[in-house]
């Protein structure tokens, strides 16, 4: 039976450390500021953004929130990004993805000042990450990396199978784990919807990271004994609960935990780490802009 990797505990520790960094910046009259921009009426996106704002406020980061009508023209979002780029009290800018179909996501990401790009999605920051010289590591992959370290999972020389090739998680995580350095040096396989024999790849892995957004795609029968399982998925599925849904991961937890050595739960695994690493990047951005 697997150990449960407690993302809440690890993220709380990181937030405590960051809180000290925020106090040190206050001595220099700097209050880190994060602007969140939401152009969506999707309930999950609204929830994520409000969790990010709350987490900021809890450790003394100034939080500014901007909502843009999902029907508004793309230019309105670009103009808002321009304004936030110029605002000296805003050190980090996060435009919650996905944006509506009529908005060109790439154009938006390229508009954010790379020094304020706390998501690490601007092409300049993506390039730096791939070259092994990251300025801002994307929050979820960085959170996974830190969580593995905190759970004493040695990645050096290990076979990691990542299921999912998104720009937000799969691709940057593969880049981070394959590099030299702490919590890295892994041999990485990235799987996706066109992968043949997925089960062969997950069974061959020492560490499986599921980040596809398909509820409970990976179950215990697809894992070898002793695997570490990191579940990035957060899927709302219909259920007879007060809210009418429940959250499940990309991994079928009950069967996977019988096979795995260690596993992250959903919720309470990777999710809190994403938020902690966003705060980390925001504090770093404030330091860089005032250094
Ligand atoms: N949508 C899902 N994950 C993320 C994230 O890490 N950052 C942003 N901006 N949008 C997201």
Out of 15, 113, 117, 119, which one is annotated catalytic? 119
Query: pTM (2 decimals)?
Result: 0.98
- Pairing relation of β-strands 228-231 and 235-238? unpaired
User: Could you tell me if 68 and 77 are in contact, meaning their C-beta atoms sit under 8 angstroms apart?
Assistant: yes
Domain stop point among 71, 103, 125:
125
Query: Do both 94 and 208 map to the same domain?
Result: no
CATH number at residue 37: 3.40.50.10860
Counting the structural domains of the chain, the total is: 2
Query: Do both 80 and 47 map to the same domain?
Result: yes
Query: Do both 147 and 262 map to the same domain?
Result: yes
Ligand 1 centroid, distance to 287 Cα (angstroms): 23
Q: Which two tokens stand for residue 127?
A: 């390039």
Active site residue 119: yes
CB 96: neighbour CB atoms within 10 A? 18
1 belongs to a structural domain: no
- What's the pLDDT at 181? 95
Query: Do both 173 and 74 map to the same domain?
Result: no
19 belongs to a structural domain: no
Confirm whether residue 236 is marked as ligand binding: no
289 belongs to a structural domain: no
Interface confidence (ipTM) of the complex: 0.97
CATH number at residue 184: 3.40.50.720
User: Could you tell me if 171 and 162 are in contact, meaning their C-beta atoms sit under 8 angstroms apart?
Assistant: no
Query: Do both 80 and 115 map to the same domain?
Result: yes
Query: Do both 117 and 195 map to the same domain?
Result: no
134 belongs to a structural domain: no
81 belongs to a structural domain: yes
In three-state secondary structure terms, 255 is helix
Residue linked to tokens 């994520």: 48
Query: Do both 205 and 148 map to the same domain?
Result: yes
Confirm whether residue 291 is marked as ligand binding: no
- What's the pLDDT at 291? 76
Ligand 1 centroid, distance to 96 Cα (angstroms): 5
Query: Do both 77 and 157 map to the same domain?
Result: no
198 belongs to a structural domain: yes
Active site residue 289: no
Contacts of 47 (CB under 8 A, 6+ apart): none
Query: Do both 228 and 182 map to the same domain?
Result: yes
Active site residue 179: no
131 belongs to a structural domain: no
Q: Does any ligand 1 atom lie closer than 6 A to the CB of residue 51?
A: no
Confirm whether residue 164 is marked as ligand binding: yes
Query: Do both 186 and 79 map to the same domain?
Result: no
Residue whose CA is at the smallest distance from ligand 1 atom 2: 97
Range of the domain at 172: 139-272
Residue whose CA is at the smallest distance from ligand 1 atom 8: 96
Residue linked to tokens 């000042």: 113
Query: Do both 144 and 259 map to the same domain?
Result: yes
Query: Do both 76 and 152 map to the same domain?
Result: no
11 belongs to a structural domain: no
Spans of the chain below 50 pLDDT: none
Contacts of 244 (CB under 8 A, 6+ apart): 238
User: Could you tell me if 155 and 185 are in contact, meaning their C-beta atoms sit under 8 angstroms apart?
Assistant: yes
User: Could you tell me if 195 and 210 are in contact, meaning their C-beta atoms sit under 8 angstroms apart?
Assistant: no
- What's the pLDDT at 76? 98
Query: Can you tell me the distance from the alpha carbon of 240 to that of 92, in angstroms, rounded to the nearest whole number?
Result: 39
């Amino acid at each position: 039976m697997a150990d449960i990797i407690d993302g809440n505990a690890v993220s709380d520790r990181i937030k405590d450390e960051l809180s000290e960094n925020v106090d040190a910046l206050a001595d220099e009259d700097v209050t880190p500021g994060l602007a969140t921009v939401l152009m969506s009426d999707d309930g999950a996106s609204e929830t994520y953004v409000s969790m990010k704002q709350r987490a900021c406020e809890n450790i003394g980061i100034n939080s500014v929130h901007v909502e843009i009508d999902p029907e508004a023209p793309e230019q309105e979002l670009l103009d808002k990004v321009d304004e936030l780029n110029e605002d000296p009290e805003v050190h980090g800018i996060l435009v919650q993805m996905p944006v509506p179909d009529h908005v060109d996501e790439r154009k938006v990401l390229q508009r954010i000042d790379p020094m304020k790009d706390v998501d690490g999605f601007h092409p300049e920051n993506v390039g730096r990450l791939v070259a092994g010289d990251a300025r801002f590591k994307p929050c979820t992959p960085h959170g996974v990396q830190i969580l593995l370290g905190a759970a004493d999972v040695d990645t050096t020389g290990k076979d990691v199978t990542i299921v999912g090739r998104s720009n937000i998680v799969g691709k940057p995580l593969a880049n981070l784990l394959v590099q030299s350095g702490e919590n890295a040096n892994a041999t990485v396989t990235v799987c996706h919807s066109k992968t043949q024999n997925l089960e062969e790849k997950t069974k061959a892995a020492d560490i499986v990271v599921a980040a596809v957004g398909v509820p409970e795609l990976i179950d215990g029968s697809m894992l070898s004994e002793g695997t570490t399982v990191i579940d990035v998925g957060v899927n709302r599925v219909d259920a007879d609960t007060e809210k009418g849904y429940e959250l499940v991961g990309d991994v079928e937890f009950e069967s996977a935990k019988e096979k795995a050595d260690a596993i992250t739960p959903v919720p309470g695994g990777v999710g809190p780490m994403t938020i902690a690493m966003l705060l980390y990047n925001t504090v770093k951005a404030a330091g860089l802009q005032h250094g």
